[in-house]
């Protein structure tokens, strides 16, 4: 996957990346997308089934309430750097809210997504996947 990001940068002439310059909401924006893609990939790879069933399962894992719950597990596993990114994302002033989530769940989910975006753009896919697995682990038991 890291190779893919390098290829993307090369082919589109993307500028050097300085993660410290990105707003936490920008990190959360891409983090939301990459987390959704990872969840969809996991679900599709578990077996071919009806699309509406795939969608329901994915939706249950990507909603703000679930991401907030995952933070309860992950916060103690975060590095100092990840804690910093998480808190910036959680505390960012967003002008939108989730339809079906409390404000606290939405803010914690935004922090989670900021960490996912940060790790993705940093190219640390192994860490990103390990954190997702840890966060989902209680559900898998």
Q: How confident is the model at residue 141 (pLDDT cuts 50, 70, 90)?
A: very low
Q: What pLDDT digit, counting tens, does each position of 80-115 carry?
A: 999 999 999 999 987 777 778 888 999 999 999 999
Q: Please tell me the distance from the alpha carbon of residue 64 to that of residue 38, in angstroms, as a whole number.
A: 16
pLDDT at 140: 52
Residue 106 confidence (pLDDT): 92
Out of 32, 36, 105, 130, pick the active-site residue: 32
User: Tens of pLDDT along 16-54?
Assistant: 888 889 999 999 999 999 999 999 999 999 988 899 999
Quick one: average pLDDT of 66-93? Answer: 95
**70-86 mean pLDDT:** 95
Q: Please determine, looking at this structure, whether the domain spanning 19-140 carries the CATH number 3.40.50.1000.
A: no
Concerning whether 36 is annotated as a catalytic residue, the answer is no
Structure tokens at 101: 């989530």
**What are the sequence ranges of the domains in the chain?**
19-140
């Amino acid at each position: 996957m890291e190779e893919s990001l390098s290829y993307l940068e090369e082919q589109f002439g993307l500028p050097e990346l300085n993660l410290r310059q990105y707003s936490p909401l920008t990190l959360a924006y891409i983090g939301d997308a990459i987390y959704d893609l990872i969840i969809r990939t996991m679900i599709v790879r578990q077996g071919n089934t009806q699309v509406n069933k795939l969608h329901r399962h994915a939706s249950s894992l990507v909603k703000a309430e679930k991401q907030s719950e995952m933070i309860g597990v992950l916060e103690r596993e975060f590095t100092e750097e990840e804690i910093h990114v998480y808190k910036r994302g959680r505390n960012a002033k967003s002008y939108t809210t989730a339809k079906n989530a409390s404000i606290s769940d939405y803010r914690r989910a935004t922090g989670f997504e900021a960490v996912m975006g940060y790790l993705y753009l940093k190219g640390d896919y192994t860490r990103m996947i390990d954190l997702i697995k840890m966060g989902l682990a209680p559900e898998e038991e």
